Chains A and B, each alone.
Chain A
């Protein structure tokens, strides 16, 4: 089974949801049926720099959050990013802030 992992940074959550909707077809019961097999994890506005707490639990420095809406995806049996997704893909040289259990990003990216 061919599997690729990709990381995306969309401008907004709404933009991501539009892209995700486009990968589905609605059945007569109103259920969104995926057009092919994939797994998508919304990471949201990820932390770029962690909040620092002291021993009393007080904030020493605030976290720095990304303004982008970050998403990790596992695509099955696909040769490339789905249409409209590639523009927002990120090519990392590390595993990043999130992974899929037992699968490393670097050896599964497109």
Chain B
């Protein structure tokens, strides 16, 4: 038998707009570059198990739970969350919880006279005084209170701590954190500075109160270790307070009716809290100990990334209109009495109008679209068996079409039309494998029900009146009647015409073509997992 194309199987060579297959018959190496394009940047899990952004047009080899790597192709998708990592800032509303950086990395104190020992170092509006070792806001007017010595660096991460005494204080905590309504307590916020000035304000909105501040401290800190090569210290700790209620952060998002998927990266701290994801009418909980995702109205899934991090995803069962999303902590559900210290590390949040999660799309100020990957190559008739041959395809089924609304393709080998074609079609709970010659079906089978997220090895051998399909070491079908089409091009992750709505996410581990019809024994050997 002659193996005329080798692609993948741990041997990857990529450059902008190209990924290499090769032919090494008779120990004579011949490169067979595939055109692989994507008009935007995208992220991938690198060999170290970390998310990494790759440039426009660079093919992605994904090493998530796979030391040999797999070629990842995805359709376009948009992360509707406009601040996917800056959880401390006012974009994210915290309720019964706070976002913290790594206090052990705290730098020098930015606030002079934060304990208000003297009446100095602060610019006071008309409603503010310093006396008795505290700063007093008397509620007579909305007015400012600014630290004179502070000079924050925009974009740096800081940790703000202070004590407040008041029954219903309406307070502005820098431009990054915005307005908060607080009661007596000790507070701790992490934020990326959006202004060099450290300024507070008190507001005399109706129904609020006078208050005092003490022990104001601002120090530059680092975030916690994140599963990201781009932002290695970009993770935060979401810590519950000691109140009874929900312990979460939320953001207002408007997205019209569609199936949506929310995802985020979590790392547990201890074993007593679950992760909680919520799209309004769709809620799910992930138990880090049992690794069980429960949801009455959606489908939850998880992937173990690296260093204890999980990518958790929740997909709505049906079309939902999104107005807000919530990410937080849970015990049996999301309403409980907190202990003031338990929490979880969190990184990289995403919501997309998709029926499954796609790769992480970082955002920092606007919704961002990752454009689709395309990979096809023409003029391959010399390496595609024209009268007999065998096709071997080893891949991860990233997403299974579960009904007739999604007609997706894993692979197409054809002549640039749908008349002469071999295809793997992911449709309505099955993989449909077919071959047409001159528009007439020569072979068709749709009896294999794949498992989403699982690896499968498929081999199809063809010769006039002699077809055989094997998947995972098992014979799926044979056919003793049919002719073989002339084919000259290959498309991964799509149909022959690269249609937007026919494209699936695929991860190709290994792909081979042979110019002889392999024996059934060879097909068993090739496809055994």
Contact = CB atoms under 8 A, between A and B. Distances in A.
A95 B369 contact: no
B373 to A, nearest CB: 12
A57 B247 CA distance: 11
Nearest to B502: A31
B254 A63 contact: yes
Interface of B is mostly: strand
B56 A102 contact: yes
A9 interface: no
Interface in A49-96: 50-51, 53-57, 63, 65, 72, 74, 76, 95-96
Nearest to B182: A55
A82 to B, nearest CB: 16
A39 B366 contact: no
B93 A101 contact: no
Between B42, B180, B368, the greatest number of chain A beta carbons within 10 A of the residue's beta carbon is seen for B368
B497 interface: yes
B250 A100 contact: no
Interface string B178-193: 0011100000000000
Contacts of A27: 418, 497
A37 to B, nearest CB: 9
A101 B181 contact: no
Interface range on chain A: under 10, 10 to 19, 20 to 34, or 35 or more?
A: 35 or more
Interface residues of B, number: 40
B252 A53 contact: yes
A31 B496 CA distance: 11
B256 interface: yes
Given A31-B499, A54-B181, A43 B93 contact: no
Contacts of B367: 43, 97-99
A34 B76 CA distance: 15
Nearest to A97: B366
Nearest to A41: B369
Nearest to A28: B418
A44 B78 contact: no
A3 B78 CA distance: 19
A99 B368 contact: yes
B372 interface: yes
A100 B79 CA distance: 10
Contacts of B78: 41, 98
Interface of B: 39-42, 53, 55-56, 76, 78, 82, 93-95, 180-182, 246, 250, 252, 254-256, 323-324, 326, 361, 365-372, 418, 495, 497, 499-500, 502
Which 6 pairs of residues, A with B, have the shortest CB-CB distance?
A102-B41, A101-B40, A51-B252, A98-B367, A101-B41, A53-B93
Given A47-B252, A101-B40, 17 more contacts: A29-B418, A39-B371, A41-B369, A44-B256, A46-B254, A54-B93, A55-B182, A63-B252, A97-B366, A97-B367, A98-B367, A100-B40, A101-B361, A101-B369, A101-B371, A102-B41, A102-B55
